[in-house]
A and B are shown apart, each in its own frame.
Chain A
Amino acid sequence: MKIESIDYKGKKIIAITGDIDMYSSPELRNEMMGHIMKKAAALYIDLKSVTYIDSSGIATFVEGLKSMKLYGGKLQFCGIPNSILEIFRFSKLDRVFEIHSTVDDAINS
């Protein structure tokens, strides 16, 4: 897994490439929680290049969502491949996560 934190149009994007699993999700958690500790108003998680996610990856995003809600921050997801969107739907997370087709759609929402 590769993680890039990008500033795009004044917004903080976390772009992930590869597999999010038991071994890589702690690195993702560190990156995401680093922004959350600084009370980032919004975080945009770009998943378009993610090839796999397991329950540890899902748990990481749920933790991020709950932490941001405490101070009114927004966690948004973009470009989710269908195979991963299906996991989100099965886990009923599509009801609580804000999901957009692209980063630009999310920023303009």
Chain B
Amino acid sequence: MDEKLIGDIRLAIDEACSNVIKHAYKGDVSRKIIIKYTIRPDKFHVVIEDNGLTAMKKTLKGRDLDDIRPGGLGIHFIKRVFDVFELDEKKKKGNRLILVKYFK
């Protein structure tokens, strides 16, 4: 992976974890976030899990980029780099976010 892609992925994972702290854990930084990843020649697969409040679809939609105001950018920074952005609906308590980046 080149430096730019590593930087973009760092930002995306950072934003995903910030969202967990803000929305699922309501600001409690002592709660656990589990990050699992696999790297293969064709893709980078990441799973981010928490046991907090289940995300509302509304909080998973970033603001319109043309609507310049504070907040609402994190989701855009994640979707900017990852090809797959999916909440696992099978998880009963908390959230499981699945992110996949395919290498061309």
Total cross-chain contacts (CB, 8 A): 46
User: Is residue A91 within 8 Å, beta carbon to beta carbon, of the partner chain?
Assistant: yes
A91–B90 CA distance with the chains assembled, in angstroms: 33
Closest beta carbon of chain A to B27's beta carbon, Å: 10
Given the interface pairs A54-B14, A54-B77, A90-B80, the reply to whether A60 lies near B21 with Cβ below 8 Å is no
A59–B62 CA distance with the chains assembled, in angstroms: 13
Determine whether the beta carbon of A63 is less than 8 Å from that of B76: no
Number of interface residues of B (CB under 8 A): 19
**Chain A residues in the interface with B (C-beta under 8 A):** 21-22, 52, 54-56, 58-60, 62-63, 66, 83, 87, 90-93, 96
**Chain B residues in the interface with A (C-beta under 8 A):** 4, 7, 10-11, 14-15, 18, 21, 65-66, 68-71, 73-74, 76-77, 80
